[in-house]
Every structure is written in structure tokens, then in C-alpha cells.
Amino acid sequence: MNNYAQLFRDLFRKTNGFMLNWPLGKTIRVGDFFTLRAGKISVVGNIYESYFQLSISDTFSKDLHRFEAPLLEPYDFDRMGWESFRPPEGMWNIMSGCYTNYQSKHLTKPHKKKLLPAEVNIYDTQFPLPGGYFFASSHPHYCRMPHFKEIHKELIRRLTTEFYNFHRIYLVTDVAAVKDFSVGVSAIENAVIQVSRPDYYNGNLIDLVNSEETFDVEKVFGMETLKLKHEGGGIAFRAKKMGLSIKAKDTLIREIFATKDRDIEKYAVELIDNELFHLFPKIEINPSNANEFFEWTDMSLEDIEYFLGGSLA
């Protein structure tokens, strides 16, 4: 994931908390809950599966056919009553560590009933360092879980003591879909993408690939990934993270320092990071007190760094 790191970080910052689902190759739906490891997302289930039987009182839940997690498709703004909206223009177009040069040349192109070479304009996008990127999309919109506040405490009970025994889990609350997208990520120094089009265009590669005009790819060198005008759909998501509350961490710290086991004291920080309650018999988590030990927070840049291979406190 090294070459994708800056793209993940910058898109997360620019879109106020969305993490790319591509190039992970996973289908993400609103309501999915997953575990996160370095370079890997593992979807465990979805809170709209029938066995959860969530206590949702609003009109959203009254029609059973709506009680499903949508797989977002482009332009599907009203699917099954989910809250959906368009983001501000430009949020989903970013580039870093690359620049585009323009030059006009004559290239020989095969044309029916035309023997003379066609005049075209050449655009070289260059990447001086590995990990440079551009990312562009068209017609994005979001689909959002409309009732998280109503069910967030119930979810903690279900995920920690009733159906599962998670001490850290992520929940997808928003999914972003686009009509199509273009992306390039460089793998080596001085990577380059060269494209051409028959008329002048005063802009960078992001503008070029978002335009309705056609273009041809002339040369590609040193790119880890290149997709131009790729089919869209659900491409990114925003999530909540369930983890230890401040009170729970304080309790765990007190138990660690109260023990006479020197090995436990030696690995105190690791025990807190991994929330190893089972080492302390006095700490009992049950449905009645689970919300005292766990809480929901927004997925943060810290989680992105953890996904990219760092540590997570």
C-alpha cells in the first residue's frame, strides 16, 4: 500500500472522512461492520441482516422491503428511502506529486478517407517520485444511514455481548458512488502518462479525463495503477469506530497496576491497545454495562495510518 498512501490520506482529508474502497476490491454497503488491519479490511456482517432485529422507530423501518442495506449505484438518489445527497463540486478531484505539460505535435493517425496526418495536442503528466497520483470522478453522491443516533447504544450491546464479542469494530455509515472515475498512481521516479486529443485543452490531466471530449493514451511508463474513465459505483465510505471508552481504559490501567504479575505490567501498553479484558477476571462486560465500556467515534486519520501499516493506540 506504500504507493497509495498519500492518495488515501489526501482523499480522507479533502472529503471530510471518506476512505477509498478501491483498490481494495471489496463491495461496501451502508451498515457493514468490519475489522481493520494493515492493508486489509474484513467485512464481518451487516446490521440490516434479519437476525439483528434493530429497534428503529422511525418510518424508515416500517416498510420491511426497506430494511436492507443499499448497494449504491450511480444516480440512484432515492433507492429504498435512504438519505442521499450530492457533495460540493470538486471534492472528489485531487492530484499530488505530478504535473502536466502541454505541447502541440503532428502524429500520424489512421483516418478513413484522409491521408494527411492529423494535428493533435499532447499532454504529458509526469510524476517525479513514487506515490504521486491523480484521482478524478464525475457525478458523485452519498447514501447515508439516517438513524445512527437512535441505534448506536443498541449496536454496542449487540456487537460486544449479545451476538459478537468485539472490542474494536468499524461500522459503515455513508457510501459514496460516482458515475465514473480516473486514477493514476506512480510506482517509480519519473513515471509518465502521455495522452493526446485533437484540439487544444488548457488544463491538467484531471480536467482532461473529466471532460466529455475523447482522447488517446500515447504512452505509459512507471505507473502502478492507471485507469481512465473507469466504470464507477460505490467507491468510498465513511465509518464509525467502536472502541474502548475513556472510563474503560482507566479501569484497565488500574487493573494492570493492581496485578502482581510482572509480565502483565511489562506489556501494559500492549494490553490496553489490544483491550485484553479476559486477563482480568474482575472485569465483566455484559449487556447492561456494555455502553459504559465502549463508545462510537468517527473514523479518523489515525485509522487510515493504521490501515497503511502504522500502529493504532
Question: How far is CA 39 from its chain centroid?
Answer: 12
Could you give the residue ranges of the DSSP H alpha helices within the chain?
5-14, 148-157, 205-210, 246-258, 262-266, 268-274, 290-293, 301-307
| Residue 241 · residue 298 · CB < 8 Å | yes
Distances from the Cα of 145 to the Cα of 45, 60, 150, 208, 240, angstroms: 16, 10, 11, 34, 11
Q: Which residue did the predictor score with more confidence, 208 or 105?
A: 208
Predicted pLDDT of residue 163? 92
- Residue 66 has what pLDDT? 47
Handedness of CA 210, 216, 222, 227 (dihedral sign): positive
Residues counted in the chain: 313
61: its cell numbers: 423501518
Looking at 10-24, 54-68, 190-204, which range is the least confident one?
A: 54-68
pLDDT, tens digit, for every residue of 76-104?
A: 545 545 677 778 777 889 999 998 887 76
Distance separating alpha carbons of residues 95 and 181, to the nearest angstrom: 13
Residue 84: its pLDDT value, please? 74
Strands 133-138 and 94-96: antiparallel
**What is the dihedral sign for C-alpha 164, 168, 173, 178?**
negative
What does the block give as the cell for 175?
457510501
Mean pLDDT of the region 1-18: 91
pTM (predicted TM-score): 0.82
**What is the structure's pLDDT at 5?**
92
Question: Could you tell me the pLDDT band of residue 63, with boundaries at 50, 70 and 90?
Answer: very low
301 compared with 144, residue with greater pLDDT? 301
- pLDDT (0 to 100) of residue 114: 46
Give whole-number Cα distances, 156 to 123, 164, 240, 261, 294, in Å.
Answer: 52, 10, 12, 31, 7
Largest CA distance in the chain: 90
The 10s digit of each residue's pLDDT in 152-198 is 999 999 999 899 888 889 999 998 888 888 899 999 999 999 988 87
pLDDT, one tens digit per residue, over 252-304 is 777 777 776 666 666 666 666 666 665 666 677 889 988 988 999 999 999 99
Q: Is the pLDDT higher at 119 or at 162?
A: 162
More confident residue, 263 or 219: 219
CB atoms within 10 A of CB 147: 14
> DSSP labels for 169-206?
EEEEEEEEEEEEEEEEEE-STTEEEEEEESS---S-HH
Distances (CA, A) of 109 to 53, 90, 94, 118, 306: 62, 34, 32, 6, 48
Burial class from Cβ neighbours inside 10 Å (0-12, 13-18, 19+) for residue 124 reads middle
Look at residue 130 and tell me whether its pLDDT is greater than 80.
Answer: yes
Do 177 and 235 contact (CB within 8 A), yes or no?
yes
Quote the pLDDT of residue 133. 95
Task: Kindly tell me if the per-residue pLDDT of 70 is higher than 60.
Answer: no
pLDDT tens sequence across 17-57 = 999 886 655 678 889 999 988 878 889 999 988 788 788 77
> What per-residue confidence (pLDDT) applies to 237?
93
What is the torsional sign of CA 136, 141, 145, 148?
positive
